[in-house]
A and B are shown apart, each in its own frame.
Chain A
Amino acid sequence: MARNLFQKVWDAHLVGPLASGQSQIFIALHLIHEVTSPQAFGMLQDKGLKVAYPSRTFATVDHIIPTDDASRPLQDAMAEKMLQVLTDSTAAHGIEFFKPGSGTQGIVHVVGPEQGLTQPGMTICCGDSHTATHGAFGCIALGIGTSQVRDVLASQTLAMDPVQVRKISVEGQLQAGVTAKDVILHIIRTLGVDGGVGFAYEYAGSVIENMSMEERMTICNMSIEGGARCGYINPDQTTFDYLSGRPRVPTGDAWDAALEQWQSFASDADAAYDDEVVFHGEDIRPTVTWGVTPAQALFIDENIPNPEEVEGLDRALVTDALDYMQLEANAPIKGTPIDVAFIGSCTNGRLSDFQQVAELIEGKKVAASVRAIAVPGSEQVDKAARELGINLIFEAAGFEWRLPGCSMCLAMNPDKLNGDEVCASSSNRNFIGRQGSPTGRTILMSPVMVAAAAVSGSVADAREVFDIS
């Protein structure tokens, strides 16, 4: 019987049914970081348990690491303690740790793919909702809580409910100046922040097929912002070309065998889906958020919605969001002044994100009123960018080029908004207080749009600012 990728990967990793009606699923790759794992190691210790498959778990530090001065001990004593606990726990249990300064540290969802750990057909878990990123390689990649991190450490399995699969096809092609970030913001805006509850999203169609792996990671990364349990893209030649030659990927005869296996996980042409939605690439324009959820988004040339035109509880959501954002109904979003520009995060902190911006900002200057920071997603991204002189282009334009980490995406480190500053951000969440100030305001957009806003001092259309056509 024809199956989609989700069903194939699920079936391959099924250990067996559980009495509750859930299934026990083997986890092929477990990634951990310093925020959601210390308590899990504590729980193991309390129960006197060992890590079942230490070679299937890899650790990095990303959320709390400062991006200006990461010398030890870290200035924040609790951050230092969290890093120390991770260091000690991984050493005690024989887990490989991509340490700062090793050339391999970075944001967990940047590191996994670039090391070649993320491979098609895997089940992948991490105590982090943006684990969905790894679905770009044709994986079932799940964000989990700390008790589940404990379960995976102790048993290398999870108790899971099956989900339905919605195929989201983006057909046709994108207009110039429209990026993967605009596509996923548009999908979330259309289907809603809870539209994906109960579903895995399979992204397909010519627009997705023509994307690079880094663009596909941007798409899958934000599946969780649409409420989906995970998101994935079928593996194809683009996937295999990306993986070829990466450190943890098999070589020689083993590569040929792996390739055959990876290809077998792709959804069958006649596979059935529980739901299907089609978008047309030509319809999508550069998209930014105006509110406090990723679905509160609009095209750059649209006006901010009017709560009077919204029914029910959602009216209160719009009113409250406008109040928090200090924006006016019916006004254009374009021209909204910004204070901070942030390019980075597990959504948009990869080499191609910085390359794309560097080509546009060379010779341009960040507006005097704007504090602009560029934060590579990993030490490898940083190294590659430096080799290409990209850091120098950013610095010449007035950006600070920082050390790798999650930085301003969630402000568990010194990079934060102050007061009610407005940030044009390439990250994934515009929730109230997300960037570290309880009154801080986030406007999500693509890296190219952040660069346009940085240069203009206000939310701008990158196609106009950089003459893209």
Chain B
Amino acid sequence: MSQYSIYKISGSGVYIEGNDIDTDRIIPARFLKCVTFDELGDSLFYDVRFNEDGSSKHHVLDKPEYQGAEILISDANFGCGSSREHAPQAIQKFGFRAIIAGSFAEIFHGNCTTLGIPCVSMPAEDRQKMAAAVADDPDTSIIVDLENLQVICANEVFNVTMKASAREAFLAGTTDPLDTLLAQRDSIDAVAKKLGYA
């Protein structure tokens, strides 16, 4: 959990194509049988990457030229479905530090923010340019600039959008809200009393 300000994230990227990529696809339910998140990285997109006998489907995530990619690029409604935090945990433990997509499902977006993974939205036309750039040269450097809401890739500057409260939290280093919430103990108790819960 990041408790320091994040203004920019840079690294190479990989594009996983498709709208409506759900969290069951990001991490199939059988890998949710665990009591810690530690081992989830290897199971990321498991059924898309591996056959049932464990052999590789040679998915883009497993291509040698994309090893070490830190920016995940995808399409609209990324992370829909189950609320499982296992999905962003797996993405983070695989090595990704930021996600660029057309749009995000809300629970997934919230989970990513808490974990310190910025999610920025980009129009389809620009995502296609990014996809072409990383296909052309997997080592292309990508800079996700949260302060200026821009992504810089292959000498082009793309405007992106981000939920205002999430951006604010990254810039302020408060993406994990727990300490802030706990600081309001008296106000919490007052609301609980008012509503008859205490």
What is A's interface to B at a CB cutoff of 8 Å?
A: 12-16, 18-22, 24, 26, 28, 35-36, 38-39, 42, 47, 49, 52-53, 56, 63-64, 76, 78-79, 81-82, 85, 127-129, 131, 143-148, 150-151, 154-159, 161, 193-194, 197-198, 224-225, 227, 229, 293, 312-314, 316-317, 320, 410-412, 429, 431-434, 436, 438-439
A55 to B154, CA, bound (A): 55
Leading 6 A-B pairs by shortest Cβ distance: A145-B85, A145-B111, A143-B83, A194-B77, A159-B177, A438-B47
Does B188 reach chain A (CB closer than 8 Å)?
yes
Residues in chain B near residue A16, CB distance under 8 A: 184, 187
A394 to B81, CA, bound (A): 31
Choice from A154, A156, A316 contacting B18 with Cβ under 8 Å: A316
Q: Is the CB of A24 within 8 A of B181?
A: yes
Q: Is the CB of B114 within 8 A of A78?
A: no
Q: Is the CB of B176 within 8 A of A432?
A: no
Q: Is the CB of B106 within 8 A of A79?
A: no
Q: Is the CB of B195 within 8 A of A13?
A: yes
Q: A26-B195, A314-B19 are in contact. Are A147 and B176 (CB under 8 A)?
A: yes
Q: Is the CB of B24 within 8 A of A434?
A: yes
Q: Is the CB of A151 within 8 A of B177?
A: yes
Residues in chain B near residue A157, CB distance under 8 A: 181, 184, 188
Q: B4-37 toward A: CB 8 Å interface, digit per residue (1/0)?
A: 0000000000000111101011001110111111
What is B's interface to A at a CB cutoff of 8 Å?
A: 1, 17-20, 22, 24-25, 28-30, 32-37, 47, 52, 75-77, 80-86, 88, 103-107, 110-111, 114-115, 124, 163-166, 168-169, 172, 174, 176-178, 180-182, 184-185, 187-188, 191-192, 195, 197-198
Residues in chain B near residue A432, CB distance under 8 A: 24-25, 47
Shortest Cβ gap from A429 to chain B (Å): 6
10 A–B contact pairs at CB < 8 A?
A20-B166, A49-B182, A56-B197, A145-B85, A145-B110, A151-B177, A156-B192, A316-B17, A411-B29, A411-B30
Residues in chain A near residue B17, CB distance under 8 A: 316
Q: A194-B20, A431-B24 are in contact. Are A82 and B33 (CB under 8 A)?
A: yes
Q: Is the CB of B80 within 8 A of A313?
A: no
Q: A12-B195, A161-B163 are in contact. Are A197 and B28 (CB under 8 A)?
A: no
Shortest Cβ gap from A138 to chain B (Å): 15
Q: Is the CB of A81 within 8 A of B85?
A: no
Residues in chain B near residue A21, CB distance under 8 A: 164-165, 168
Choice from A52, A197, A198, A436 contacting B30 with Cβ under 8 Å: A436
A432 to B85, CA, bound (A): 19
Shortest Cβ gap from B63 to chain A (Å): 20
Q: Is the CB of A194 within 8 A of B188?
A: no
Residues in chain A near residue B192, CB distance under 8 A: 26, 53, 156
- Identify the interface centre among A20, A155, A229, A317: most chain B CB within 10 Å of its CB: A20
**Chain B residue with minimal CB distance to A23?**
B165
A144 to B47, CA, bound (A): 25
A39 to B22, CA, bound (A): 22
- Identify the interface centre among B28, B86, B88, B184: most chain A CB within 10 Å of its CB: B28
Residues in chain A near residue B195, CB distance under 8 A: 12-13, 26, 28
A445 to B172, CA, bound (A): 47
A85 to B35, CA, bound (A): 8
Choice from A18, A225, A410 contacting B180 with Cβ under 8 Å: A18
Choice from A148, A194, A436 contacting B105 with Cβ under 8 Å: A194
Residues in chain A near residue B86, CB distance under 8 A: 146
A461 to B187, CA, bound (A): 55
Choice from A18, A22, A82 contacting B35 with Cβ under 8 Å: A82
A76 to B33, CA, bound (A): 10
Q: Is the CB of B111 within 8 A of A19?
A: no
Residues in chain A near residue B166, CB distance under 8 A: 20
Residues in chain B near residue A81, CB distance under 8 A: 35
Residues in chain A near residue B185, CB distance under 8 A: 155
Q: Is the CB of A156 within 8 A of B188?
A: yes
Choice from B25, B81, B88, B191 contacting A129 with Cβ under 8 Å: B81
Q: A19-B174, A53-B198 are in contact. Are A410 and B110 (CB under 8 A)?
A: no
Q: Is the CB of B85 within 8 A of A147?
A: yes
Q: Is the CB of A53 within 8 A of B77?
A: no
Shortest Cβ gap from A248 to chain B (Å): 13
Q: Is the CB of A412 within 8 A of B188?
A: no
Shortest Cβ gap from A342 to chain B (Å): 15
Residues in chain A near residue B80, CB distance under 8 A: 193-194, 227, 293
Residues in chain B near residue A150, CB distance under 8 A: 178
A24 to B177, CA, bound (A): 10
Q: Is the CB of A39 within 8 A of B33?
A: no
Residues in chain B near residue A316, CB distance under 8 A: 17-18
A35 to B114, CA, bound (A): 19
**Chain A residue with minimal CB distance to B170?**
A20
Shortest Cβ gap from B183 to chain A (Å): 9
Q: Is the CB of B25 within 8 A of A431?
A: yes
Q: Is the CB of B32 within 8 A of A35?
A: yes
A229 to B163, CA, bound (A): 15
Shortest Cβ gap from A228 to chain B (Å): 9
A26 to B198, CA, bound (A): 12
Q: A13-B195, A410-B29 are in contact. Are A194 and B103 (CB under 8 A)?
A: yes
Residues in chain A near residue B164, CB distance under 8 A: 21
Choice from A42, A53, A314, A317 contacting B197 with Cβ under 8 Å: A53
Residues in chain A near residue B47, CB distance under 8 A: 432-433, 438
Choice from B81, B83, B124, B198 contacting A145 with Cβ under 8 Å: B83
